[in-house]
Structure 1
Amino acid sequence: MTIEPNARTSECRVLYGCMGLGGSWDPEPYGPSDIDAAEAAISAALDSGITVFDHADIYRHGKAEAVFGEVLARTPGLRERVTLQTKCGIRLADEDGPGRYDLRAGSITRRVEESLTRLRTDVIDVLLLHRPDPLADPDEIARALTSLRRQGLVRAFGVSNMGAAQIARLQSRLDVPLVANQLEMSLHSRDWVEAGVLLNTGGATANGFPFGTLEYCLDHGIRLQAWGALAQGRFTGRQETPAERATADLLADLARRKGTTPETVLLWWLMRHPAGIAPVVGSARPERVRACRDAALREPDLTHEEWYGLWTTARGVPLP
């Protein structure tokens, strides 16, 4: 694989999500074809200006990290060109118990050590806590994270799927700032943006997004990352409702007029928001990754009216 110079990681506005790498969603071993497929996807991301790669210890039962590590091992110099982010805190069902969340200090430390081994690296650039653990002690979490940083095993920390109050409580115990919060955000999963306009309406009670989370992250320099950003292909592949079909048509029209792809316009809709949202592109198909190239390399090219047009079309009903 030829690695060309890419945009600096600090300027990378789109992440590549590695959930689709590593073969099947079971504990069966991966094979050479899975490594080759991972290499093709990673190459497509790099070709598109994406240098931040998002993992989790549970993706494909650890195989996503493992095949990425294989690609790093076979490609000299690649590790220095990429930022590795991974997550821990979700435990899949096993002989010890059901599917659960686990942010105990010992569990965090073990998961990080296992991720380092699979990724074949000596440091994780960013570690996210994958889901809130209702039984977690924030002081214990802070001690574990502080220890990992002092040992040089993790450079920075963030969270995933957490609201403002949860982040603030954890941050109050840490000496270093949390740098990211990864949430499901897309033109399909719109609770994050609707929460700010449904106040004082009947729809507010049905919206479960913790109001104020976007504002908290923006005010505290916490980068918002959007998982599920391509909305599982609802607007660029399959459409199941009249609103989705109308949105797909509008995306295609905007893409033609702006000389880009519908996938890019879909990501631009997220990136146009002042919260500074960084989409996570999770497809394992190289052609679909390359369809997002302009999102990584161009400024979002949507007017105020175009942004609202996409929102209201996807809603299927007018704003309150």
Structure 2
Amino acid sequence: MKQIQLGTSPLFSGRLSLGCMRMADKTVKEAAGVIEAASESGINLFDHADIYGKGTSEEIFRDALKETSLKREEILLQSKCGIRDGYFDFSKDHILSSVDGILKRLGTDYLDTLLLHRPDTLMEPEEVAEAFDTLAESGKVRVFGVSNQNQMQIELLKRYVKQPLQINQLQLSLAHTPLIDAGLNVNMGNDAAVVRDGYLLEYSRLHDMTVQPWSPFQHGMIEGVFIDHPEFPELNAALKETAEAKGVSKSAIAIAWLLHHPAKMQPVIGSMNPERIREIAKADGVTLTRPEWYALYRAAGNDLP
């Protein structure tokens, strides 16, 4: 699998990453098979969050990793914090205690990347900066980023935080494209022209941030998978046609569509099925033409101006 640089950091990773939210439902043996399938496919970044399985996903990953031949230094561990029961919390104390809990559950003494999970409107950026300084100086976190944050929230953080913010994890799929729509409908009066995110793709490119699309097979606000869904006949027909022409699965084409965009994306796939992981990873070898990319975008129900 081709490698990408995470932002401008010293970390390089496969073009795909594996989201471990559903690992809490697996046995240690099953999870070990998932990790091995991902590694064999060229995936070396494993994405966690302290809320996944209420911490169980990280614990199972820790135990499962021991059952593989992989060494800690051969993989990148990413986790997220900031979501609590009914509220968000970017306070210094919570960030620090969250990271300590994450490290204990993962059985490691450092995270390669830490992301702030969901925006906290009560955030004091000075506190975040103090927390990041403590984590960086102690060696507990190598690289920092955010998740689901707009450009002004990022700019506010950057005013105080010394460490570069290298990643923004954002929802994006063929059937969920608000990040793209407004940029194609400039100065139009239709709904697609509404700027909901502050042109985050362009902002990310200007500031060398790696975009990590999450839920790349979901439609709406994670309402369900669009692959083989009866409400998306045109999209699935287009995916099937392209998949047959390229010799891969429809899921691989959906990921190849994201990889084709020049905004330095690293999709986060959440499958816990080893064979499906291997099939999806074939997206790395797929080349889409510009007409094919736009044809899939239109088949998802998007009109071009």
Q: Same fold (TM over 0.5)?
A: yes
Shift of the 220–17 alpha-carbon distance from structure 1 to 2, 3 Å rule, reads same
Aligned mates of 1:37, 1:75 — CA distance in 2: 11
What is the identity, as a one-letter code, of the residue corresponding to 2:294?
Y
Indicate yes or no: 2:68 matched with 1:82. Answer: no
Structure 2 residue aligned with 1:263: 251
Q: Is the 8 A contact 1:6 1:46 kept in 2?
A: no
Indicate yes or no: 2:23 matched with 1:21. Answer: yes
Structure 2 residue aligned with 1:302: 288
Shift of the 22–6 alpha-carbon distance from structure 1 to 2, 3 Å rule, reads farther
Instruction: Pick the aligned partner of 1:153 from 126, 140, 155.
Output: 140
- Measured against aligned partners, the alpha-carbon deviations of 1:110-164 in whole angstroms (never above 9, x if no partner) come to 1100000000001000000001100010111011011111001000100000011
- Measured against aligned partners, the alpha-carbon deviations of 1:176-206 in whole angstroms (never above 9, x if no partner) come to 2111000000001110100212332233488
Aligned mates of 1:205, 1:170 — CA distance in 2: 29
Q: Is the 8 A contact 2:2 2:14 kept in 1?
A: no
TM-score (ref. length: structure 1):
0.87
Structure 2 residue aligned with 1:48: 41
Structure 1, unpaired ranges of 5+: 24-32, 93-98
TM-score (ref. length: structure 2):
0.91
Aligned mates of 1:81, 1:16 — CA distance in 2: 15
Task: Say what the alpha-carbon RMSD is for the aligned residues.
Answer: 2.0
Instruction: Pick the aligned partner of 1:289 from 242, 265, 277.
Output: 277
Instruction: Pick the aligned partner of 1:274 from 262, 277, 281.
Output: 262
Instruction: Pick the aligned partner of 1:247 from 235, 256, 259.
Output: 235
- Measured against aligned partners, the alpha-carbon deviations of 1:208-267 in whole angstroms (never above 9, x if no partner) come to 631321111111111000001122773433x131xx111112111111111222111101
Q: Point out the more displaced range, 217-226 or 70-79.
A: 70-79
Structure 2 residue aligned with 1:108: 95
Work out the number of aligned pairs and report it: 295
Structure 2 residue aligned with 1:236: 227
Structure 2, unpaired ranges of 5+: 5-10
Aligned mates of 2:22, 2:3 — CA distance in 1: 24
Secondary structure in structure 2 of the residue aligned to 1:21: helix
Aligned mates of 1:209, 1:36 — CA distance in 2: 43
Aligned mates of 1:304, 1:209 — CA distance in 2: 25
What is the identity, as a one-letter code, of the residue corresponding to 2:255?
L
Q: Point out the more displaced range, 226-235 or 166-175.
A: 226-235
Shift of the 240–207 alpha-carbon distance from structure 1 to 2, 3 Å rule, reads farther
Question: Could you list the runs of 4 or more consecutive aligned residues of structure 1 that deviate by over 6 angstroms after TM superposition?
Answer: 5-9
Aligned mates of 2:95, 2:177 — CA distance in 1: 31
Shift of the 62–318 alpha-carbon distance from structure 1 to 2, 3 Å rule, reads same
Aligned mates of 2:158, 2:265 — CA distance in 1: 20
